[in-house]
Amino acid sequence: MSREQKHIAVVGATGAVGIEILKCFEQRNFPIGELTLLASARSAGKILSFRGNDVVVKELTPDSFKGIDIALFSAGGSISKTFAPHAVAAGAVVVDNSSAFRMEDTVPLVVPEINGDDVNTHQGIIANPNCTTTITAMALYPMHRAFGGVKSVIAASYQAVSGSGAQGIIELEGQANAIAKGESLPERKVYSRQIAFNVIPQVDVFLDNGYTKEEMKMLNEARKIMHVPDLKASVTCVRVPVYRSHSVAVTAVFHDKPSVEAAREAISAAPGVHVIDDPYADTPVFPTPLDSTNGDDCLVGRIREDLVMENALTFWVVGDQIRKGAALNAVQIAELLL
């Protein structure tokens, strides 16, 4: 594709990621000549603003993709499975934010700063990784390159409720307000336990090996993105009462002996990620979820030599899972297609 103005479709345009995709398009001056916004029948007819103009949301159907150059999907795996083939058949390239196609051999799984060249192998569909995987990989990959490759990872994620959609935020707010007023908690609809003033060590469903689907995504997707098929990982994903931005504590073992200073230099030289790390300042410096909220870049701190494993560093990374973990990464993939 060239950088000539394109006909772009956004599937799931009224959802949180869809709206964020439109913001990214505006902020990055993406060359859009025509924009088609698609959603379910109940959202059809809604009006969204884009570059000062009102755009009417249309109902998603198999015939929605005639003349579309790039279609960004963010409406869930079942919708992608059903409608992405129609988009490809109509001549569009699909950038899919769901897990529907991520592990298919013919579908590249792309974080542009890491494996952007993989878009060239697409056969009509390019997958956007899981948000926690993306945020972790943004910090891990510069060290992977600097220290002879990563061998294994032990990680624990601290994932914001907006990762569950708008209902996750509503449930947290409702419980927090009820507790503050001394009232009974409202009925839970999203989480298996109270999320206000609590943490829940379950994100997604449990598998036969005792890990959740979310935890296995980080292993399997990181292998594919970083081209490290023998990577080992043990991950625990935790839902925390934070509105937005995910955090991950990581211990990574490398083939070569790493150093904290070299790690800071490697991360600082990499695109899309910054070091915020001065534990000995009068007020210790490290990133928190609020520091990355509404930002494009992932932030890394608490970098230190691990005290248990050889050739290992332990670090902390935060990133906005709606931006870099979803919408921004999808738009960056679309930019690569140009």
- Active site (catalytic) residues: 131, 246
pLDDT tens, residue by residue, 180-199: 999 999 999 999 999 999 99
On the question of pLDDT at 3 being above 80, the answer is no
**Sign of CA pseudo-dihedral 246, 251, 256, 259:** positive
Hey, what CATH topology would domain 6-128+326-337 get? Rossmann fold (3.40.50)
How many of the other CB atoms lie within 10 Å of CB of 30? 20
Q: What is the mean pLDDT of residues 258-286?
A: 98
User: pLDDT category, 2, cuts 50, 70, 90?
Assistant: low
Specify the pLDDT at position 85.
Answer: 98
Give tens-digit pLDDT for 100-110: 999 999 999 99
- By C-alpha distance, which of 241, 292, 233, 301 is closest to 268? 301
CA distance 163 to 244: 8
pLDDT for residue 286 is more than 70? yes
CB atoms within 10 A of CB 118: 20
Question: What mean pLDDT, rounded, does the chain reach?
Answer: 97
Q: Is the pLDDT of residue 135 over 80?
A: yes
Write out pLDDT tens, residues 226-263: 999 999 999 999 999 999 999 999 999 999 999 999 99
Neighbours of 85 (CB within 10 A): 14
Cβ burial of 60 (10 Å; 0-12, 13-18, 19+) is buried
CB-neighbour burial class of residue 304 (10 A; exposed 0-12, middle 13-18, buried 19+):
middle
- What is the pLDDT, as a whole number, of residue 134? 98
What pLDDT, on the 0 to 100 scale, is given for residue 1? Answer: 60
What is the pLDDT at residue 99? Answer: 96
Domain-wise residue ranges, the chain? 6-128+326-337, 133-321
Give the pLDDT band of residue 147 (cuts 50, 70, 90): very high
Q: Is the pLDDT of residue 302 over 80?
A: yes
pLDDT class of 296 with cuts at 50, 70, 90: very high
Which of 3.30.200.20, 3.30.360.10, 3.30.70.60, 3.40.50.1950 would CATH assign to domain 133-321? 3.30.360.10
Mean pLDDT score, 119-132: 98
Its pTM stands at 0.95
Total Cβ atoms within 10 A of residue 31: 14
- Rounded mean pLDDT of 112-128? 98
pLDDT of residue 4: 85
Mean pLDDT of 31-43: 97
For the segment 207-228, what is each residue's pLDDT rounded down to a tens digit? 999 999 999 999 999 999 999 9
